[in-house]
A and B are shown apart, each in its own frame.
Chain A
């Protein structure tokens, strides 16, 4: 299986090289006055170095907003899921309004939010929260209500308290579902923060994030820097996803079927 392993490194590298070659090809195929449309990877790396301080600070600000919104979404959604899992009646009374919240585009809510909580990081956090919230609530609730009926009956026969049933049975049983929601939310969090920052960001007191930086660079027609901003956002998304995948592995790999069996 060693050749497979080598291939699994070689093939993506080859795809990358081909991609970069085509990129350069297109760049030089364009007439000289139109080449600004697609700056070369080299130019982008250059822009990255040139704006490193600015991009770094913006990335940190966006990370802060994304992280705060993400964590707030986790806390609130787990709490709300517990309430929703109490009874079908609670679910039918609340689900339509959760749907409405999810269906309303953030771009429309953003100006209202700026009025309510003020521009800058606060709006960014709220917008990230709104975007991450829904997949977390839906998945966690699904997990909490899909607990094995027989296990619940055993807990009843063992005279477990309601709290014991939630902590020792329903919550761990819902973990795989929770992590499914968390993975979706992790890819959404940096995007949410960026969109929030784009519409509600402010440069006051270094408060600008990557979304705000996008506005500035596009206003100044700094296209290589714009590409560098996109790359930075991408890295941020990867970090978020990697951390969540790591946490999911820690929580589930020993017992859940989604991870390969190590022995037997």
Chain B
């Protein structure tokens, strides 16, 4: 590989207290601009892996480097999006989006500019003064993504962000997410249960197995960007969805046996 990876996990293991091994010697790396999806049966530790990269929980063994630093020191290099929108319900959309900057002491002018850009990016300019409860589930998720982008992260960690949304909204947001990435070039780690979503978004899909959580295999997705709704109709896309589904099923049946 020509450049040093932006994110590098080497032999990372994780157990909570004296509990069973959640992750067993996971090695994984990503170059700038990669879109990596993590998929696997429940209990395979894919969300835990994301939280390790985010520095929200320490590894029990192995090493994690994010931009050549420990995750705890990576700070604004990392953006995190949860499955729930995780907005502050007492703040308007605009105030929610500028909160990370406000906490870091950015002045009002700089905040205003970033806020406008981020909200425009997700197409919610006319909702700037609305409260979260006035938004639909998809709109709230957009706000959550806009907020994660305000600190200009180099790595975006997304933990099943569209898992609670209906199929149509999910497909729209998948397309929007890629459109935003065209303009911003961050590296993404994306946890999902949906094979179709993983294939549409990623250039690499990491299939994980459970008990203990480990990497089973990696599938490259050589579909060209930009990807559009037409991409989903292509033969290549459908073949890849079938292939990943097959791998996933083999992992799940092996686990059940």
State the A residues within 8 Å of B (CB): 148, 150-151, 153-160, 164, 168-169, 172-173, 175, 254-257, 261, 263-264
Contacts and interface: CB of A to CB of B under 8 A. Distances in A.
Contact of B75 (A148, A159, A175, A263): A159
Q: How large is the interface on B (under 10, 10 to 19, 20 to 34, 35 or more residues)?
A: 20 to 34
Closest 8 CB pairs of A and B: A150-B86, A160-B103, A158-B100, A255-B90, A255-B131, A255-B89, A150-B82, A172-B90
B133 A151 contact: no
Contact of B132 (A154, A155, A255): A255
Interface in B36-69: 54-56
Contacts of B99: 158, 168
Contacts, number: 52
Nearest to A256: B89
Given A154-B80, A255-B131, 17 more contacts: A151-B88, A153-B56, A154-B82, A154-B86, A156-B56, A157-B56, A157-B80, A158-B99, A158-B103, A159-B75, A164-B103, A168-B103, A169-B88, A172-B88, A254-B131, A255-B91, A255-B133
Could you tell me the dominant secondary structure of chain A's interface residues? helix
Could you tell me the dominant secondary structure of chain B's interface residues? loop
B4 interface: no
Interface in B230-251: none
A151 B84 CA distance: 10
A153 to B, nearest CB: 5
A161 B78 CA distance: 18
Nearest to A172: B90
From B80, B84, B88, B131, residue with most partner A Cβ within 10 Å: B88
Nearest to B86: A150
A151 B144 CA distance: 11
B134 interface: yes
24 contacts: A148-B86, A151-B88, A153-B80, A154-B80, A154-B82, A155-B103, A156-B56, A157-B56, A158-B100, A158-B103, A158-B104, A159-B75, A160-B103, A168-B88, A168-B103, A169-B88, A172-B90, A173-B90, A255-B89, A255-B91, A255-B132, A256-B90, A261-B133, A264-B134
